[in-house]
Structure 1
Amino acid sequence: MSDGHLYYVMGPSGAGKDSVLAWVREHGAGHGVLCAHRYITRPAHAGGENHVALSEAEFQSREQRGLFALTWQAHGLHYGIGNEVQHWLARGADVLVNGSRGAFDHACERFPSLRPVLITASAQTIAKRLAARGRETESDIAARLARLDAYPTPPESVVIRNDGCLADAGTMLLQAIRSGH
């Protein structure tokens, strides 16, 4: 059995990464695709993605014990990807990780053969989505929009524009995985 591939999904807040990953989670399991949960110091009821909510103390305790394959901080929160992804990869599963553009270089160091995926959308679509989720103020949204082009697209990235139908974006991601990109 050959090792699976790690697909590092990233993009600006509001691009619809969580929605695309949820779609793939529902439609991609039969294709050997697994979506890793993130461990976040955000309450479970805060909305957004299906994540494992941890207190700051619990996150720090897990990090000190080496239970995360990747960690980073963003927007005042701690994020982690559990070591279980290494077991899944070793057993031939393709694994999707919802990463951070700011932590991409660290992820490449940890997983040198990772395959970058950029999910993006127009500024107008992103602004509407951020406003609809209700977690950011108008100034927070403006700051996020100002950072849209702050990170270069990594070479050899699969780029998915998620302005339209969610199934189209999810299908594009599954096709990229099936083709071994």
Structure 2
Amino acid sequence: MRSGADYIKVRIGRMTYRLSAGGDAQRTYDIAATADAMMDQIAKRHPGLNQVSQAVLALVNAIGMMENFHLEQETAFKERDVSAIRSDELRAELDRLREQFWEMKKDLLYYQNLCEVYEKKLTERGTAEEDLDPARHSRRGRRVRVGDSQMTIEETLPEDESDPETDKQETISL
């Protein structure tokens, strides 16, 4: 037999009921308060109805609210599932782009190294030619080397667009 602590007394409409609390009395009080508010709302809208009719209308309204909640919940679950799928797709795309980035970085390092090797070979070739025929070199005038025509990005910028911090460093080094 159940103890008296499992039951609570609540007022719904114009009647007092003894309800089983099921271990959570506060939840049962909250549900009863919602049912009472629904009954009062029906009584205010339709003052001529008896209490049984008010209870039936309140039940229909409660079921309608429950159905709306289930539809909203179902929509939210579908949106969550779509978001999870989209998130997985975006993660896969991010991983693909990271892999592509590292491949490009490897290629860049390879080509930078290759450029350094060729620049070194060209420099060695130029000094070897000068060593072979110094008279011919003196007749030709100044020979342009590979690095002579190269410029940095800062050198190509107009004076007014240059970085003020770089300008400070240049004036200090003078």
The TM-score with structure 1 as length reference comes to 0.19
Larger relative contact order (Cα-Cα within 8 Å, sequence gap ≥ 6): 1
More helix by percentage: 2
The TM-score with structure 2 as length reference comes to 0.19
More strand by percentage: 1
